[in-house]
Amino acid sequence: MSTSQLVFFGLAFATLFSAVLVIAARNPINSAMSLVATFLFLAAIYAQLLAHTIAVLQVLVYAGAIMVLFLFVIMLLSLTHLGDPTPPPALHQVVGGVAAVAVLAGLVVAIWRWHEMAPVGRAREGLLRFGTLEQVGGLLYTRWLLPFEAVSLLLLVAMVGAVVVAKPRI
């Protein structure tokens, strides 16, 4: 097993472990900190996938901005008290858990068969440029300029909407 495979499996295990902690932790603060760890491990996996730009954005936007927003809201609502002990699982929770496991099984089977049916050969040219800010920016500001501008409009609407929704009186 080569070094990069070892690195990948270590990162994958760390990602899944912290992801499970996110949904298992009773205190929302612990969930949020586990989510930060998940995002950082995922950023390392993105970098291993040659997506350097997205890895940097993952750290800046996800682990930085979005998680600060989450922590800020948790602190604001002072939800750190654990409350009464967890009630027994309701029927819809059991069904939801079974559904999640079933979806996972279906996805694993599908990925397995995809690998057997269509092994795609890999070209090795142009790897030095792949995933760099230059290439991603070049695509973003030429062919995908309209979606990019639409996203900026979406962010503006979300910003105004967040103010309108969260304000007690306008």
**Contact indicator for 52, 134 with CB cutoff of 8 Å:** no
- Token look-up 């795609």 returns 120
Shortest CB 39 distance to another protein, Å:
7
Shortest Å, Cβ 76 to another protein:
7
Is residue 45 a contact partner of residue 68, using CB atoms and an 8 Å limit? no
Interhelix angle 3-24/28-48, rounded to 10 degrees, is 160
